């Protein structure tokens, strides 16, 4: 019997757990940070809450006798990915990063690519007055000082930060192209701020922006550790299969 720990918090992690569920001689545990109030529940066992840094995760891997570790966290969840890489080395177990490819700019896209949310906030005043922030709820602080800008903020759970000059839209993807077109028109959005998350679930807003000739301030991904990588769930499943 082998034990697989999936670090989750993404649709890919849920899909992965569903696909390896039922493999003979494999037990699956998915770990969630516990940020989302009503998270989608993966197949198999689930644990919720922080580990306590790389050392805490390494202790957990040993105590739980984990044989395989797959980091299927969001491309912007950088800290846990560095912790996972260090903990896997420390515990001496194979480790895979499941990281979907970034979105690539295509003809018609008006992207302003920036390396951080702080830089994105600096770009906004010269660009637009009505802005759609599709960056979740954890990194809104740099936009608070922009009192001349109106923000539409979409997140799964309510943000902790209060932005008076805007509106919160609580919603969870995937979003259709028609939904996104309508939303951009209805709120007269002049620019979007987005993380370069990759994947299909939230790509419709990028297509809608292209069609409506709306600029996108695209925040680039943080660095992730080197090591074994899979770009999709199917490749991660075959990585598991080879190790059983
Ligand atoms: P982060 O900055 O990398 O993580 C901060 C801390 O949260 C980590 O150091 C770790 O705490 C704990 N943590 C993160 N993921 C965990 C997991 N799967 N299981 C147990 N503990 C975890 O990540 P984040 O940006 O706060 O994201 C938190 C979770 O939300 C991740 O699981 C991620 O996949 C998901 N998510 C993030 C985004 C995003 O844009 N950042 C978007 C969608 C989903 P300790 O060091 O104390 O162990």
111-219 folds as Rossmann fold (3.40.50)
- With a 6 A CB cut-off, is 76 part of the ligand 1 pocket? yes
The answer, yes or no, to whether any atom of ligand 1 lies below 6 A from the CB of 199, is no
Please say whether the beta carbons of 71 and 97 come within 8 A: yes
Task: Please state the rounded mean pLDDT for residues 215-229.
Answer: 96
C-beta of residue 113 within 8 angstroms of C-beta of residue 138: no
Delimiting residues of CATH 3.40.50.720 domain(s) in the chain = 111-219
| Ranges for all domains in the chain classified under CATH 3.40.50.11190 | 2-101+223-242
- Predicted pLDDT of residue 162: 83
Q: What is the pLDDT of residues 91-113, one digit of tens each?
A: 999 999 999 999 999 999 999 99
Please calculate the CA angle 83-10-93 and round it to the nearest 5 degrees: 35
Nearest to residue 85, comparing CAs of 98, 73, 71, 75? 71
Distances in Å between the Cα of 34 and the Cα atoms of 9, 49, 151, 157 are 9, 5, 27, 12
pTM equals 0.95
Quick one: which atom of ligand 1 is closest to the CA of 82? Answer: 3
- Cβ-contact 236, 72 below 8 angstroms: yes
CATH classification for the domain delimited by 2-101+223-242, as one of 3.90.280.10, 3.40.50.11190, 1.10.287.130, 3.40.50.10310 = 3.40.50.11190
Mean per-residue pLDDT for 33-49?
93
**Ligand 1 pocket check for 78: Cβ under 6 Å:** yes
What tokens were used for 163?
A: 């932005």
Backbone angles phi, psi at 85, to 5 degrees: -60, -45
**Is 114 touching ligand 1 by the criterion CB < 6 Å?**
no
Alpha carbon of 135 to ligand 1 centroid (Å): 15
């Amino acid at each position: 019997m082998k034990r697989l720990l999936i670090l989750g918090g993404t649709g890919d992690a849920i899909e992965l757990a569903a696909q390896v569920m039922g493999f003979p001689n494999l037990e699956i545990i998915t770990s969630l940070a516990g940020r989302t109030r009503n998270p989608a529940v993966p197949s198999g066992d689930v644990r919720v809450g922080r580990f306590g840094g790389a050392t805490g995760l390494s202790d957990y891997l040993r105590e739980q006798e984990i044989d395989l570790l797959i980091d299927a966290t969001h491309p912007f969840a950088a800290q846990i990915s560095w912790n996972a890489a260090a903990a896997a080395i420390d515990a001496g177990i194979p480790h895979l990063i499941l990281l979907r490819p970034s979105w690539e700019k295509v003809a018609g896209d008006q992207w302003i690519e920036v390396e951080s949310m702080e830089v994105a906030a600096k770009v906004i005043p010269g660009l637009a007055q009505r802005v759609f922030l599709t960056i979740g709820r954890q990194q809104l602080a740099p936009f608070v000082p922009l009192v001349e800008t109106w923000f539409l903020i979409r997140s799964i759970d309510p943000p902790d930060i209060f932005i008076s000059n805007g509106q919160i839209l609580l919603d969870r993807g995937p979003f259709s192209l028609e939904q996104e077109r309508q939303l951009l028109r209805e709120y007269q959005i002049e620019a979007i701020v987005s993380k370069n998350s990759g994947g299909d679930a939230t790509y419709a807003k990028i297509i809608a922006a292209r069609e409506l000739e709306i600029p996108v301030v695209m925040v680039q991904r943080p660095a992730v550790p080197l090591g074994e990588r899979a770009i999709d769930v199917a490749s991660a499943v075959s990585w598991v299969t080879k190790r059983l």
